[in-house]
Chains A and B, each alone.
Chain A
Amino acid sequence: NAGVTQTPKFQVLKTGQSMTLQCAQDMNHNSMYWYRQDPGMGLRLIYYSASEGTTDKGEVPNGYNVSRLNKREFSLRLESAAPSQTSVYFCATTPGLSSYEQYFGPGTRLTVT
């Protein structure tokens, strides 16, 4: 029982490159979230998915796209990376939107040069 897993753990991109961050959970949770965490800015919600087949924008969605591939997997794509997207990215899950206790993955540290 791995909980929430994220790949990769670290990534360095050049400006303009694209990549997809992967998140998978084996907790049978319905809702999944993508956050970024930056010094002095706290955790900011990028996108979330209330349930399989639905996605919604969070606080800072610009420059990102998401796919809720199935109940287990929720991916985050950067189409054209910018230095401002250098951050630590966390995926989180809850049983449903009305359940507030979120379980986090280990994070992906992304650097865009």
Chain B
Amino acid sequence: EDKVVQSPLSLVVHEGDTVTLNCSYEVTNFRSLLWYKQEKKAPTFLFMLTSSGIEKKSGRLSSILDKKELSSILNITATQTGDSAIYLCAVGDNRKLIWGLGTSLAVNP
């Protein structure tokens, strides 16, 4: 059965810290890996990684796909209170996304 596992489940840091969130997957027909941010509403898209695009960066956020290890990391540097959210990882197969349970990040001032 296909699955996506995120770790840690929750994390509490102080403003200015750097955090690394992990996502590992076992998906038969891997096509892409996506990261989403969810605050108190709907998930919003952050990055998509594929075999042809294994590294993405936007401001303080960056992500890398390791196809050999079947995993991805999401790095957030110089964290701010506005980064507090649930970060979701999802893997696309031929037809749909398989979602992880998310990592809940709390950034304290």
Q: How many residues of A contact B (CB 8 A)?
A: 22
Tell which of B88, B90, B96 touches A58, judged by Cβ atoms closer than 8 Å. B96
Inter-chain contacts of A41 with B (CB < 8 A): 101
A102 in contact with B45 (CB, 8 Å) = yes
Give the B interface residue count (CB, 8 A): 20
Closest to B92 in A: A100
**Per-residue A-contact encoding for B91-103, CB less than 8 Å = 1, 0 else:** 0101111011110
Interface residues of A in 84-113 (CB under 8 A from B): 90, 97-98, 100-107
Partner of B45, one of A44, A103, A107: A103
A78 CB–B CB distance under 8 Å: no
Smallest CB gap from B100: residue in A: A42
Tell me whether B8 is interfacial, beta carbon within 8 Å. Answer: no
